[in-house]
Chain A
Amino acid sequence: MGILRIKMPDIGEGIAEAELVEWHVAVGDPVQEDQVIASVMTDKATVEIPSSVHGTVVSLGGEVGSKIAIGSELVRMEVSGAGNISEEDATPEPVASEPVGAHAASPALEAPMPDPKAEPVPEAAAKASPAPVARPAVVAPTGGASAPRAEGEKPLASPAVRARAKEAGIDLRQVQGTGPAGRISHADLDAVFEKGAGQGGGSAKRGLAADTSVKDIKIVGLRRMIADKMTASKKHIPHITYVEEVDVTKVEELRATLNKTKRDDQPKLTLLPFLIKAVVLAVRDEPVVNAIFDDEAGVVHQYGGVHVGMAVQTPTGLMVANVKHCEARDLWDTAGEVNRLADSARKGTITRDELRGSTITITSLGALGGLVHTPIINHPEVAIVGVNKMQIRPMWDGREFVPRQMMNLSSSFDHRIVDGWNAATFVQRIKQLLEEPALLFMEG
């Protein structure tokens, strides 16, 4: 038997540390080779770390939400072969002051179901221990603590525990008792309450009742990243939001025609590629909106290429995928890239590189887009174009009302860099291009 340390692997691209977002194992768990033990996150990509060995988890290297440096200890496992930790440093670093024997025994005490096979005192560690070796099992001498109740056997609990369970509508037959002889303690009930909290644990009560529960959700990983980014943007950037309506009847007709006549190998077109094309052309007139503002250095990096960030809603939260060099793409090429990025973002296979480097962002919620919204700029960019929902509205053509396919654009700009006039000019140009889509394809 030996103790093996699994280190935080190098997950590439010069990353120095990663945030721990989830443990897939707990102390005492048996782990198979290649079984995922933890999820860590870098920028916006989540990486799952598999175990390289077969063994039992002895200690975890950090809490969810903590940053773990590449190369530092991720978990410590007890393995059947030789370990990679010598007797001298068998104590995990964070608790170096604790006697070896005492610490080595603690996993068994913390583990909910002490497994006699998971003998907690590794021989090597025990020998090296200056302290007397703690007796591993303080529980029932027969190991009955973890024995599940036999079929039909009454649950064992004190009257106070029974009363509390009844009040909460918990059937004690379903509760695992961790005490001697499988006795169910208040702590065991607490565990049930905790587990049940997420799934409407108050099922026992019928009718209307005040729900006084508060669920604490640790903000980690992507959600924390989104939170930080939103705060940075709203805190640093004085936003100006400008809304204009666009008649998209013609561009929609064109899109329908193109979709009907396209080759099979060409992607189906949505409005987004047309809008990207319009943004690319409008940026030529107002290059100030296609930029990164390094406010600390006091420099605006105005880009020649148009890298359009595309907000994508994924199961874990909002991501911004980068459609690079849109100025060098035709409509079909843009559409293909948009589809590919949206797909991989939703699947979680998007790379870190595909999630950064955009110079202007488009955000669209499609049919959910509403009439108007006030988009937050993707810091440190200076402009974001928001797409609202499309609908047929009666428009006055000078003689009568005619039904037209209309859509609003709600766009925000960094008012430190972009004046109202520039913002308006930029949006009006997009409007013009979309209303007369032929202009989109007039080069030069």
Chain B
Amino acid sequence: MAAYRCKVLVIGGGPGGYVAGIRAGQLGLDTILVEAARVGGTCLNVGCIPSKALIHVAEQFEAAHRFTSDNALGISVSSPKLDLPKAMAWKDGVVGKLTGGVAGLLRKAKVRVIEGTATFKDGKTVEVAKADGESDTITAESIIIATGSESVELPFLPFSEDVISSTGALALETVPEKLCVVGGGYIGLELGIAYSKMGSAVTIVEMADRVLPLYDAELTGPVTKRLDELGITVLTGAKVTGAKGGSVEVVDASGATRHITADKVLVTVGRRPFTKGLGLENLALDMDRAFIKIDDRCRTSMRGIYAIGDVTGEPMLAHRAMAQGELVANVIAGQNDSWDKRCIPAICFTDPEIVSAGLQPEEAKKAGFETIVANFPFRANGRAMTMEREDGFIRIVARKDNHLVLGIQAVGAGISEMAAGFGLAIEMGACLEDIAGTIHSHPTRGEALQEAALKALGHALHM
């Protein structure tokens, strides 16, 4: 049993925690990071990165498969095969490189990493239970809770060999013949589409009346259309009531009970903050439902205790956690920093992809703005045509009175790469004239952004 003392203790090595650790190290604060598994958290190990790797595999395989029949490009391929264990090994290699990189960055910042599960003893002391049964005690001036989130389990559909979470879906050894996805949010759609492309017959069951209910119907339209093209069955307004022996029981929109046969059931009904075993009962933190309540400096209700990332609420996104991680280290180092972001862009890596930065039209209206909304479709974009993907559009929401850009949304193949530009425009306080007056390189999908701004100003050139 060892006892440590430090200035800053970070609990959790995900995108929030490791960034907080690196930044604290940069600022010269003596820092310890405790992580139960590998650093990188959900994002690197069982989230963003492996799922994107799998989506890439699926896309390549689907493209190859498409060339087995007559196609406009004149390419012919005969019976492509997918060796899923090999693809998974490649994916694990990518993950390994990244988690190794993070560990290296933490070392470089002189952050000590202790492997184990942390439990609060009091507001300054944490006990770390290690794999070998030993436990360490760490006393710190400031403690950052960055324990993240975990998949929600349905009580009538507990996780098992055949009922899997997103984590399980990223580690399958064979492509299931029939896959039932419970929950039509972005995680379910991303993985459902990927498995569909790898050959599964996929059924998506969603309680709301359409998939991706957090985005407006205009944005999700192209995705719904593509789901149909891919042969994915979508049951909306449907409720899963149970499962037994390779069959999922669903009450559909009309009230009829249906049975969907499936080899695997993927449950993606949401994520909840992970605080199990953290010993929060030994603290007196104010909570916001299951989340830890924080202020604009990531301070909890207890002095010296901070929280960042998924454990603090929606949106549960890695880049939000990273921004908070940097901020919280600055705050602990005594800098006058606070949360002042204008937008946290969100991306669905569906097919086509969806990006939303800032306010969507309805949200802007609700916020009391008189708005101008304009969108520019990719069917009028040269680059989109050359890539055989003319579905989708870029849409701008701006204030009517001073043309301040309130939101930019887009749906289209590969559009996720434009999220940075959307975020930059909003964060800089760009007006329609700023975007319209910026040269957007030709031929790119990005031209649609400039055109949307021009259209909002009443003089689109290519429409």
A interface list, Cβ under 8 A from B: 140-142, 144, 147, 154, 156-159, 162, 166-167, 169, 179-183, 204
Contact = CB atoms under 8 A, between A and B. Distances in A.
B389 interface: no
A147 B402 contact: yes
B401 interface: yes
B401 A180 contact: no
B340 interface: yes
A225 B399 CA distance: 56
Given A140-B402, A181-B431, A182-B402, 18 more contacts: A141-B403, A141-B433, A142-B403, A144-B402, A144-B403, A147-B401, A147-B402, A158-B428, A158-B429, A159-B340, A166-B336, A167-B335, A167-B336, A179-B429, A181-B402, A181-B403, A181-B404, A183-B429
- Across the A-B interface, give the 9 residue pairs with the lowest CB-CB distance, nearest first: A144-B402, A181-B402, A181-B404, A156-B429, A183-B429, A180-B431, A158-B428, A166-B336, A181-B431
Contacts of B417: none
B338 A181 contact: no
Nearest to B434: A180
Nearest to B402: A144
Interface string B304-319: 0000000000000000
A140 B433 contact: yes
A385 to B, nearest CB: 58
B391 interface: no
B124 to A, nearest CB: 25
B340 A162 contact: yes
Contacts of B431: 140, 180-181
Contacts of B403: 140-142, 144, 180-181
A158 B399 contact: no
Contacts of A179: 429
B150 interface: no
18 contacts: A140-B403, A141-B403, A142-B401, A142-B403, A154-B342, A156-B404, A159-B340, A159-B428, A162-B340, A166-B338, A166-B340, A167-B335, A167-B336, A181-B399, A181-B403, A181-B404, A181-B429, A181-B431
B328 to A, nearest CB: 15
B59 interface: no
A99 B11 CA distance: 68
B337 interface: yes
Nearest to B338: A166
A166 B339 CA distance: 11
Contacts, number: 48
Given A140-B433, A180-B402, A182-B402, A169 B336 contact: yes
Contacts of A147: 401-402
Contacts of A144: 401-403
Given A140-B433, A141-B433, A181-B431, A166 B402 contact: no
Nearest to A158: B428
A204 B337 CA distance: 13
B427 interface: yes
A159 B427 contact: yes
A204 B401 CA distance: 35
A148 to B, nearest CB: 12
A166 B404 CA distance: 23
Contacts of A162: 340
Contacts of A204: 336
A183 B399 CA distance: 14
Contacts of A140: 402-403, 431, 433
Of listed A144, A157, A166, A181, residue having the most chain B CB within 10 A: A181
A397 B431 CA distance: 91
A167 B338 CA distance: 11
Contacts of A157: 429
Nearest to B399: A181
A169 to B, nearest CB: 6
A141 B336 CA distance: 36
Contacts of B404: 156, 180-181
A181 B340 CA distance: 18
Contacts of A183: 429
Contacts of B402: 140, 142, 144, 147, 180-182
Nearest to B340: A162
Interface in B369-419: 399, 401-404
Contacts of B434: 180
Interface in B323-343: 335-338, 340, 342
Contacts of B340: 159, 162, 166
